[in-house]
């Protein structure tokens, strides 16, 4: 399982940001109708202002969500459509449908749309899809989302096309047909084939690292120039056919990424919307400190967009260590935590941070059920926590729980808010600040006794509860770089995960995932804290800038500009 929490996704790594209080004041997600309306048309140059210095453009190396950068350049078998008031849906992209499953859910067949070509004129056939996927198994081109590597039959031992030849579990019986044979039933396969690795690559291309800066495009844009750390310029792919594409509008003539920008300066530029900045947007979250200032700007009413929800921030309790092996102790944590204090530490007030969490499946995911097994006021129930500790045999509380926390961004401050709340109930923790690499090594390593509790956040890679539950609570994700930080292993839950993953019908699978959510929380291996909100700024001439129910990002593929 690839790391999907702080570094890549949403939440605490870039500064948990969001503006719940601004939902009314800033007309979040209302630019396409109302006071902030921008009428878009074809043409112009869209500017993407980014505080990072690089982007992975090789589809095998990319962890980009289907609606962000990689999706502008690369099409896949399926794609996502998003809207402000409905869950994301999977739609056909290069394929004619979202996949046809065998009765046992282990074989998936796709037929490609006819007449599609890549930017260099290469016809898009099943051979280009197969080769592109096989490339992602080669160690030299690793780093992207890797769900398919263990799902495809034989994938766990496959080393890529350059050393391992063909992967037999991907069949191409004719140029328009591709068949996948999985190692086990997997109902979410239509979401998996929307990931970057399922983009076509002409056979024989992409044999060296240079492909990352000059990939062959199948989407509406191709790389015209790339200056490392400074700029990426995308121009139209003349072979892209809008009539075949349900996910992308391809409205701007060019898209220019300005890299390595200061996040504070980005906000100032976009609010001023002078010159080209009127046609730009910030690809990074607006941080909490900036939000307080931005609220006072008249421009913020129409240029600040906030997600309804986002990543789950949570406190992981190591169920294999000391007092935390006791269920009543873990239940005491559920009541001892002051979630309001955590919200304030996150973004200054509760509304800015995001809503209090009580479930593991994040908002905006189909099949999610709302429930609260440990009802308490947002600031906790200290008396109930002390009662549970006494019942567990700790009437005088617990001392010296080891609490490692990454020093990245403000995570240490957030951990202090949790530490203070726990202390009210007699739970004493010892914070252990670590740099992010050291924290990752401990939290995802193989030593079950390396810590007692830790703070984390999780944003699913695709809109299924599968991506909420299995990476954090499956036994297979303990250690070895996995993110089961609670070291939680329950055969009943593993069986539910396997059953839900193998269920092809999304509604039936959703009920199983909701059942798993509730079953896991009965064991209280984590304390759900908040669903973090994210806020983004755009220039005054950018339209269709909407954040869907999932993910908590604007859909780059739909943006347009006013003339």
Structure tokens at 484: 């089961």
Q: 298 vs 221, 266, 427, CA distance in Å?
A: 34, 17, 46
Q: What is the mean pLDDT of residues 464-490?
A: 96
Structure tokens at 188: 């979410």
What's the pLDDT tens digit per position in 198-220? 999 999 999 998 999 999 999 99
pLDDT confidence of residue 4: 37
What's the pLDDT tens digit per position in 341-354? 999 998 887 877 89
Is residue 261 predicted with pLDDT exceeding 90? yes
Q: How far, in Å, CA of 398 to CA of 521, rounded?
A: 22
pLDDT confidence of residue 470: 96
User: Is residue 84 very low, low, confident or very high in pLDDT (cuts 50, 70, 90)?
Assistant: confident
Structure tokens at 195: 């990931």
User: Is residue 31 very low, low, confident or very high in pLDDT (cuts 50, 70, 90)?
Assistant: very low
Is residue 9 predicted with pLDDT exceeding 70? no
- Mean pLDDT score across all residues of the chain: 91
What's the pLDDT tens digit per position in 392-440? 999 999 999 999 999 876 788 899 999 999 999 999 999 999 999 999 9
User: Is residue 67 very low, low, confident or very high in pLDDT (cuts 50, 70, 90)?
Assistant: very high
Lowest mean pLDDT among 183-187, 312-316, 364-368, 518-522: 364-368
Share of the chain above pLDDT 70, in %: 93
Three-state DSSP class for residue 177? strand
pLDDT confidence of residue 409: 65
Structure tokens at 372: 């609260």
Is residue 82 predicted with pLDDT exceeding 80? yes
Number of H helices, E strands in the chain: 18, 20
* DSSP H or E run through 294: helix 288-294
Is residue 144 predicted with pLDDT exceeding 50? yes
* Residues in Cβ contact with 440 at an 8 Å cutoff, skipping those fewer than 6 apart: 3, 406
- Cβ pair 251, 40 in contact under 8 A: yes
pLDDT confidence of residue 408: 79
Strand partners, 233: 225, 256
- Cβ pair 89, 81 in contact under 8 A: yes
Is residue 108 predicted with pLDDT exceeding 80? yes
Q: Which ranges in 465-539 belong to alpha helices (H)?
A: 466-473, 491-501, 506-522
* Residues in Cβ contact with 44 at an 8 Å cutoff, skipping those fewer than 6 apart: 251, 252, 253, 254, 279, 541, 561, 563
pLDDT confidence of residue 36: 52
Lowest mean pLDDT among 14-28, 82-96, 239-253, 314-328: 14-28
Q: 101 vs 107, 179, 385, 476, 509, CA distance in Å?
A: 6, 10, 48, 25, 15
Q: How far, in Å, CA of 376 to CA of 502, rounded?
A: 36
- Cβ pair 449, 401 in contact under 8 A: no
Structure tokens at 325: 């092996």
409 vs 472, more confident: 472
pLDDT confidence of residue 143: 85
* Residues in Cβ contact with 403 at an 8 Å cutoff, skipping those fewer than 6 apart: 415, 419, 429, 430, 431, 432, 451, 452, 453, 454
Q: How far, in Å, CA of 440 to CA of 491, rounded?
A: 26
Q: How far, in Å, CA of 486 to CA of 386, rounded?
A: 22
Strands (E) located in 16-140: 45-49, 78-83, 86-92, 100-101, 107-111
- Is the preceding omega at residue 551 within 30 degrees of 0, hence cis? yes
Q: How far, in Å, CA of 174 to CA of 323, rounded?
A: 60
**For the whole model, what pTM was predicted?**
0.89
pLDDT confidence of residue 291: 81
pLDDT confidence of residue 563: 84
pLDDT confidence of residue 322: 96
What's the pLDDT tens digit per position in 263-306? 889 999 999 999 999 999 999 988 777 887 787 888 888 999 98
């Amino acid at each position: 399982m690839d790391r999907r929490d702080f570094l890549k996704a949403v939440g605490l790594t870039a500064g948990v940001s969001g503006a719940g209080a601004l939902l009314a004041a800033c007309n979040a997600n209302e630019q396409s109708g109302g006071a902030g309306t921008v009428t878009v048309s074809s043409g112009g140059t869209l500017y993407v202002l980014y505080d990072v210095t690089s982007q992975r453009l090789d589809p095998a190396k990319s962890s980009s969500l289907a609606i962000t950068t990689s999706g502008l350049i690369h099409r896949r078998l399926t794609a996502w459509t998003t809207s402000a008031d409905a869950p994301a849906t999977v739609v056909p992209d290069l394929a004619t449908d979202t996949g046809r499953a065998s009765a046992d859910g282990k074989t998936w067949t796709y037929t490609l749309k006819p007449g599609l070509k890549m930017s260099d004129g290469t016809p898009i056939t099943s051979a280009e899809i197969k080769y592109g996927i096989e490339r992602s198994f080669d160690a030299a081109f690793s780093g992207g989302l890797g769900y398919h590597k263990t799902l495809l039959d034989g994938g766990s031992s496959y080393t890529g096309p350059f050393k391992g030849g063909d992967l037999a579990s991907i069949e191409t019986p004719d140029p328009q047909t591709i068949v996948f044979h999985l190692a086990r039933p997997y109902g979410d396969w239509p979401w998996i084939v929307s990931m970057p690795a399922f983009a076509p690559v002409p056979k024989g291309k992409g044999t060296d690292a240079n492909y990352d800066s000059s990939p062959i495009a199948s989407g509406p844009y191709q790389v015209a120039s790339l200056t490392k750390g400074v700029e990426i310029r995308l121009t139209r792919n003349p072979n892209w056919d809008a009539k075949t594409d349900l996910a992308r509008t391809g409205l701007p003539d060019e898209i220019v990424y300005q890299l390595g920008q200061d996040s504070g300066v980005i906000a100032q530029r976009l609010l001023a919307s002078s010159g080209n900045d009127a046609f730009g947007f910030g690809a990074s979250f607006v941080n909490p400190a900036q939000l307080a200032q931005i609220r006072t700007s008249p421009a913020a009413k129409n240029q600040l967009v906030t997600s309804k929800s986002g990543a789950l921030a949570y406190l992981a309790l190591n169920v294999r260590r000391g007092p935390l092996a006791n269920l009543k102790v873990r239940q005491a944590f559920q009541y001892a935590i002051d979630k309001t204090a955590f919200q304030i530490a996150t973004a200054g007030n509760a509304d800015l941070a995001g809503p209090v969490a009580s479930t593991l499946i994040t908002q905006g995911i189909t099949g999610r059920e709302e429930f609260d097994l440990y009802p308490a006021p947002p600031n906790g129930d200290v008396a109930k926590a002390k009662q549970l500790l006494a019942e567990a045999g700790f009437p005088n509380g617990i001392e010296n729980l080891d609490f490692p926390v990454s020093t990245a961004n403000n995570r240490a401050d957030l951990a202090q808010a949790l530490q203070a709340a726990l202390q009210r109930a007699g739970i004493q923790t010892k914070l252990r600040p670590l740099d992010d690499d050291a924290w990752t090594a401990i939290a995802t390593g193989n030593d079950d006794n390396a810590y007692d509790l830790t703070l984390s956040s999780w944003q699913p890679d695709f809109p299924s509860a599968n991506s909420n539950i299995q990476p954090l609570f499956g036994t297979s994700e303990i250690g070895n770089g996995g993110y089961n930080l609670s070291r939680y292993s329950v055969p009943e839950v593993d069986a539910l995960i396997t059953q839900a993953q193998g269920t092809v019908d999304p509604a039936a699978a959703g009920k199983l995932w909701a059942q798993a959510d509730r079953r896991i929380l009965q064991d209280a291996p984590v304390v759900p804290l908040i669903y973090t909100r994210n806020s983004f700024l755009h220039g005054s001439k950018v339209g269709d800038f909407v954040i869907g129910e999932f993910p908590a990002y604007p859909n780059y593929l739909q943006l347009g500009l006013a003339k």
